[in-house]
Amino acid sequence: MRADARDNRARIMTAADEVFGQSPSASTDDVAKLAGVGIATVFRHFPTKTDLLEAVLTLRLERLRDRAIELADSNFPGEAFFGFFTQVVSESASKLAIAEALTAAGSAAGADAKKAGGGLRDAFDTLLKRAQEDGVVRRDAGLAAVYALLIGASRGATAVGLEPEVRDRMLGLIFDGLRPRP
């Protein structure tokens, strides 16, 4: 891919992330305008809106996965785990908007997004295990339950539009439940 084509694709992805993250009903025209390219350029890179949404969702999941992998090497596993949990919940509104737009376009997450989502889950499991080994998260808190808490907190915070201070109090309650009992 030529350098200008790579730059266009990157601008389109950045614009699509912002546009669809704010409004699931946004159009590819909105993306093209924000990216500063013509609609034909958008469709040259992404033949359908669904293709574009899939690429944006996949990129989001990959970024989260990569962040979790990076945090897994932290000298402070508890801070890494709770910080990442907070990050995911804090950023959930725009990610869920993108997933909603994909569903509205008549599609579900494709193979790339599912692979990225699986990688994210695995990386989150590593964070959880490291925090448990460090004694800051209960050992009886299995991945399935804790991941369900992460998803539930993300969806709940988004559905009711929690203000940041209320969201943080909610997370504090969840985190208190995850901490070991004396």
- pLDDT of amino acid 32: 94
- pLDDT of amino acid 98: 75
In the structure, what pLDDT confidence band is assigned to residue 106 with cuts at 50, 70 and 90? low
Candidate from 51-55, 81-85, 120-124, 172-176 with smallest mean pLDDT: 51-55
**Are 86 and 154 in a shared domain?**
yes
**Are 63 and 35 in a shared domain?**
no
- pLDDT of amino acid 21: 80
**Are 96 and 8 in a shared domain?**
no
pLDDT over 90 at 143, yes or no: yes
More confident call, 54 vs 132: 132
**Are 93 and 106 in a shared domain?**
yes
Distance in angstroms (rounded) separating the CA atoms of residues 42 and 44? 5
Nearest residue to 81 (alpha-carbon basis) of 155, 138, 140: 138
- pLDDT of amino acid 94: 74
Candidate from 3-17, 75-89, 120-134 with smallest mean pLDDT: 3-17
User: Residue 9 corresponds to which tokens in the numbers above?
Assistant: 């694709």
User: Residue 161: left (phi > 0), alpha (psi -120 to 50), or beta?
Assistant: left
**What is the number of domains present in the chain?**
2
In the structure, what pLDDT confidence band is assigned to residue 162 with cuts at 50, 70 and 90? confident
Distance in angstroms (rounded) separating the CA atoms of residues 18 and 34? 9
Structural domain harbouring 37:
1-47
**Are 37 and 69 in a shared domain?**
no
> Residues 91-105: pLDDT tens digits?
887 777 777 767 766
In the structure, what pLDDT confidence band is assigned to residue 108 with cuts at 50, 70 and 90? low
- pLDDT of amino acid 23: 78
